[in-house]
Structure 1
Amino acid sequence: MQIYKVGGAVRDRLLGKPVTDIDWVVVGATTEEMLAKGFRPVGADFPVFLHPKSGEEYALARTERKNGRGYGGFIFHASPDVTLEEDLIRRDLTINAMAEDDQQNLTDPYHGQRDLEARLLRHVSPAFAEDPLRVLRVARFAARYAELGFTVAPETLELMRQLSESGELEALTAERSWKEIARALMEDQPQVFIEVLRECGALKVLMPEVDALFGVPQPAAHHPEIDTGVHTLSVLEQAALHKQPLSVRWACLLHDLGKGLTPEEEWPRHIAHEHKGLKLIKAVNERFKAPKDCQELALLVGEYHTHGHRALELKPSTLLELLQSFDVYRRPQRFEEFIAACEMDARGRKGLEQRSYPQADYLRGAATAARSIAVQPLLEKGFKGPELGEAIKRERLRALKAYKEAASA
């Protein structure tokens, strides 16, 4: 029995990056031997075991053979005679197909270290094209290591292009796709993930609504970058720079989908794009089964982001409707995330990345003013039921009028 550290732990150590998760491969062992040493089996598809003390995952060396569509369409074979090289060749990228023993002696049959030095994301073997999930994974790695200068090797990009055209991407489950999308959006340069997907044709398959934004012009006065797709990438980049949570990044990606529906004769204006985009945002949300908080924020940002930009001009009644839509009284954090998404949208414009966004504090102040209305005095005056609701609304409106007058003074 020989045990090797493999994959990301080896890659990141060689890159000088912190190692978080460690994967182990066991060569020359049987399931019975692992159980006898106290390892606990997990997973039904192939033999993976948890270490009796550390809890880390140890997998028996295995080979795989394609026998169906999608990510799960494989037959695995694990036995003591499977070599380390045979196990490594089934991995996606050369930089993930290295192993080291307990003395840090490197096994690198597919030149991963060379590709690390060349800053290349290159596939290990033609079997790369058998797993459509790898299109998303490579795009995610491109986003993760963009700051180090990594790019996708042309021949790997071509395989990704072939996969995108083959119909295999449609076989991916929503859960697997979302897991990769969510991880990619939380990288330091998530816009690179979208760029790579677009470059290989996968964006058109997975998110045609986002792909449709490229080449759609906007008014130069508000959008010096002109192109709606370029703007979307810039907004996503700003969200990462400002360390926004996943829900905000997802909303940033989808906020302008309605502009992809504008007839060419109306370009560069996009009248009512906020409302037109809601059905598209809903479709993307459902396609990937995004978490509820991500779904809700994306829809709200899509519908109301222009309200955010015009906050200082809004009538008190419109401001009150906005606050009601977000349920700021019970869910203040969601309104904070809306404000953040609006600010990222304002900054995601060429040359305006450092602009101030006074709307943010104004909206926070409005929410505070509306929340300051106490219900108890109204109950004491005898209001109840629908009348109480109307009385609360009147008082909040009065508070917002006073707030707006004070802010304008």
Structure 2
Amino acid sequence: MKVYLVGGAVRDALLGRPIVERDYVVVGSTPAKMMALGYKQVGKDFPVFLHPVSQDEYALARTERKSGQGYGGFICDFEPTITLEQDLYRRDLTVNAIAQADNGNLIDPYNGQQDLNNKILRHVGPAFCEDPLRVLRVARFAARYHHLGFCIADETMMLMKNMVQQGELKTLTQERVWLEIEKSLGDGAIEVFTTVLSHLNALNDVQPLLVQWGDEAHQKLNAQLTQVPKSDPNYKVVLFCLWLQHSSLTTLAGIEQTFKIPSKYAIALRDYCEHAATLMTPPSPKDLLKLFNKIDLWRRPERFELLINIMRFTVGFEKSQGDRLKSIAQNTRSISAQAIIAKGFSGSEIKSQLDEERLSQITHTLTL
């Protein structure tokens, strides 16, 4: 039994980047042997195990054979006779097909180090086209390493284009597509990811709200995204809203179900697309109260905070505008239904009086 560090950890170490997680491949073992050593099996389609102490993932060396269409149509062979080279051959890119032995030696049968040095993302072999998810993965890697000068090999781009033309991306579930989008948002270069997909004519399969994408949209979005600090706790949500900022409210209806987008992202995007124009120019007291009511400032103040946070990266919106609006919101929230009831109002009078006092407060604050 031999254990090798593989994939992203080896690649990023060679690039001098932080290692986020470590994955290992085990050659010459079986599920029974792994569990006897205290590993916990977690893989359903093929044997993946968690180390009893580090909780890192250890997968048995395997080969794959296409058995159907789409991402999950594979039959795996994980006999102990499978070699490391066979396991590495099934991987997507040469830069991800480098292994490291426990003595530090690198095993690189498909010239991944050379491609790293030349900043090329190249597929390992013809089996690349059997998995449509790899189109999104390569686009994501191209975006992640774009600032280092990486590009996709011409022959790999041709394979990816053929996969798109053959409708392979249509076999992916929306959940899988969203996971790749969310990872790309975390990398902070979603505009590069989008441009790669645009060149592949894949946007209609991945994010049809962006089918009109072009160089001008890329450049404008890039200028906005570079201003968003990665330390922002809502970093990915902010980037997502800027990415789809030109969407109409009609097209955004029900995107949680249509594209399997988490509600936090979907709500923030709809709030931004609906209210950004109102906030760009000094809103009237009535318009501001209407906005506060619409986003339920009274029970969900964090929703307005997030909206203002996204507005900060909108061209023409000044930080001072955001600070002032947050101050108005805070002052207006201090007027509660309980305070109105304490004044003797009841029934339908409560809401009308509440709106009147809130409107008065907004008007007063706006004139200061």
Letter of the 2:305 counterpart? E
Question: How many angstroms apart in 2 are the aligned matches of 1:122 and 1:292?
Answer: 36
Alpha-carbon shift at residue 114 of structure 1 (Å): 0.7
* Aligned residue number for residue 300 of structure 2: 331
Give the partner amino acid of 2:183. Answer: R
CA RMSD of aligned residues (A): 1.9
Aligned pair partner of 2:274 in 303, 313, 319? 303
* CA distance, structure 2, for counterparts of residue 120 and residue 213 of structure 1: 25
Please say if residues 89 and 124 of structure 2, whose CA atoms lie closer than 8 Å, have aligned partners that are also in contact. Answer: yes
Alignment of 1:155-170 (within 5 A): 155-170=155-170
Q: Distance in 1 between matches of 2:340 and 2:249?
A: 37
Map of 1:35 onto structure 2: 35
Counterpart residue number, 1:223 = none
Range 246-255 or range 17-26, more displaced: 246-255
SS in structure 2 of the partner of residue 38 of structure 1: coil
Give the match for residue 254 of structure 1. Answer: 244
The answer to whether the aligner puts 1:400 opposite 2:332 as a matched pair is no
Q: Separation in 2 of the partners of 1:228 and 1:175?
A: 26
1:103–1:228 CA distance, 2 compared to 1 (3 A):
closer
Matching residue of 1:61: 61
Residue deviations 1:301-346, cap 9 Å, x none? Answer: 1111111211x2x210011111111212221221121112222222
Counterpart code for 1:392: L
Report what 2:220 is aligned to: 231
Whole-Å separation in 2 of the counterparts to 1:192 and 1:61: 33
Letter aligned with residue 4 of structure 2: Y
Count how many residue pairs are aligned between Structure 1 and Structure 2.
367
State the SS of the aligned residue for 1:344: coil
Cα distance change, pair 396–366 in 1 and its aligned pair in 2 (3 A)? same
**What is the Cα deviation at residue 405 of structure 1?**
1.1
Letter in 2 for 1:231: K
* Structure 2 letter corresponding to 1:381: K
What is the TM-score when the length of structure 1 is the normalising length?
Answer: 0.85
User: How many angstroms does 1:81 deviate by?
Assistant: 1.0
Q: Provide, for residues 44-90 of structure 1, a one-character-per-residue CA deviation record: whole Å limited to 9, x for no partner.
A: 21011122222221111000011112111111111011110100011
Partners of 2:235 and 2:302 in 1: CA distance: 12
Which amino acid is 1:178 matched to? Answer: W
- 1:287/1:236 CA distance change after superposition, 3 Å: farther
Letter of the structure 1 residue corresponding to residue 131 of structure 2: D
> 2:250 is aligned with what amino acid?
K
Change in 2 beyond 3 A, CA 1:385/1:251: farther
Q: 2:262 aligns with which of 284, 287, 291?
A: 291
CA distances 1:171-213 after superposition (whole Å, capped 9, x unpaired): 1111111111001011132221111111222113222221225
- For structure 2, the residue ranges without an aligned partner over 5 or more in a row are none
Identity of aligned residues (%): 44
Distance, in Å, in 1 between the alignment partners of 2:293 and 2:245 is 20
Per the alignment, do residues 83 and 213 of structure 1 end up closer, same or farther by CA in structure 2, a change over 3 Å counting? Answer: closer
Would you say the 8 A contact 1:178–1:290 is kept in 2?
yes
Tell me how far apart the structure 1 counterparts of residues 213 and 254 of structure 2 sit (CA, whole Å): 16
Partner Cα distance (1:374, 1:284) in 2: 33
TM value normalised by structure 2: 0.94
